[in-house]
Amino acid sequence: MIKGTLLIVDDNRSVINALEMMLQYEVEKLITIGNPNRIHQVLEQNEIDIVILDMNFQAGINSGNEGLFWLKEILRHDSNISVVMLTAYGDVELAVKALREGAIDFILKPWDNKKLLATINAAWKLRSSRKEALILQTDNQFLKKEIKRSEEKIVLGASPTMINVMNIVRKVAGTDANVLITGENGTGKELVAREIHNLSKRNSELLVSVDLGSITESLFESEMFGHVKGAFTDAKEDRPGKFEIAHKGTLFLDEIGNLSLQSQAKLLSALQNRSIVRVGSNRRINIDIRLICATNSILPERVSEGFFREDLLYRINTIQIEVPPLRDRVDDIPVLTFHFLRLFSEKYNKPGRKISTQALEKLANYHWPGNVRELQHAIEKAVILSDTSVIAPSDFSFNSKSKGLLENDNVTLEEMEKTLIAASIKKHDNNLSVVALKLGITRQTLYNKMKKYDL
């Protein structure tokens, strides 16, 4: 059986009845209409794979122009639909013209049942190959990114706390349970998500990462659910959203705590219905994804403050994994340092780079407010700027003001973060793009923190 939808358009009821009787068990879904003016409505409400289209509809008119017109309309809606023309024996020349206009084949009346089935099966194979090619083309940027990342070994650490995290990861990876990963910025939440995906039964499909903090309210639906051509001014072609791209794979939503209540409602609806509707379309598309979310916010607090939906929180945190900050797992600093040292030595063609014991001690004694991401940037900078094969303590410079704050037993983490952000804003002359880049956070996250700390 063809796992798709076949649309038959013919004003002759006896023709439709005959085709229905023959094809009702050959295709998953069969739709028939006698009036071609309903074609647009049917295309909007259903994902049509194959169309059997009559060449003539008005009595006494055999020009075939109606069939050619509706052929163009169908292909304008979706150029990958396989359209098969239905024509009388004497209209072969018209059918050949239809082939030039984009039809994939034609069927002569009266038809041979075996030839008809062979034509429909060929049409389905072509439709399937076109859809696969479109998906591959759309996913190309994600595939390149995933291939590159899959070649990189994921290193999270070997401290007792991270061993505990990895034990949870292994237990949850084999299920499809929704996972919420929490922790400070830069602790490696995306790496944990990637490890869950790599150990899951979906690891042959894509893991699609979405930074929700960087998506504006007006673009949320288009980015997540996709849009159809003409849905808005810049919608020049159909485009799938992140949910469709992640179909059969894993969807990782980072910074979910930054979503507005309006966007939260739309996300919750998609998760509950397991389907989405592209912007500008009425057709519902089923999706099959494994959901992993991450946040640096304390979501129960945001729920009590009225900033996060409680029903969405229950939906996304079947399992919660807390990734501890780097200052609480000092044992991981040497492991991560050697990993980044190898990585950047290869990247910048500086083989054999090593790090002195004194430099390693300096790294171990630093409090790392930016966590693993800050350590990564520090190693990368040292590899680039170091003039010798052994990286020394002098190759690392840290914010002395932040260090002074740390030595104060009464300082809180929020006070330290506020000071760090304020100092960075001043240092970079209020260039928030640079500030966000240097701090390893998104602009939206920076705005939220500036508002929180009244900066």
Q: Token digits for 217?
A: 């309210």
2-130 and 325-398 share one fold: no
Q: What is the mean pLDDT of the chain?
A: 86
Q: Give, in words, the CATH class of 400-455.
A: mainly alpha
Domain 2-130 has CATH 3.40.50.2300: yes
Domain residue ranges of the chain, discontinuous segments joined by +: 2-130, 158-322, 325-398, 400-455
CA 371, 215, 272: angle at the middle one, nearest 5?
Answer: 100
Checking if the pLDDT of 43 tops 70, the result is yes
Strands (E), 47-147: 50-54, 82-88, 105-109
Q: Which fold, 158-322?
A: Rossmann fold (3.40.50)
CA distance 409 to 196: 37
404-408 CB contacts, 8 Å cutoff, 24+ apart: 406/367
CA distance 196 to 352: 32
Q: Give, in words, the CATH class of 325-398.
A: mainly alpha
The pLDDT assigned to 409 comes to: 53
Checking if the pLDDT of 4 tops 60, the result is yes
The pLDDT assigned to 146 comes to: 52
CA distance 160 to 338: 19
Sign of CA dihedral 423, 428, 431, 435: negative
Range with lowest mean pLDDT among 109-118, 172-181, 261-270:
109-118
The pLDDT assigned to 252 comes to: 97
Q: Which helix (H) or strand (E) holds 172?
A: helix 160-173
The average pLDDT across 145-156 equals 57
CA distance 1 to 28: 7
Checking if the pLDDT of 62 tops 70, the result is no
Report residue 140's pLDDT band, with 50, 70 and 90 as the boundaries: low
Checking if the pLDDT of 12 tops 60, the result is yes
Report residue 237's pLDDT band, with 50, 70 and 90 as the boundaries: confident
CA distance 28 to 26: 7
The pLDDT assigned to 410 comes to: 56
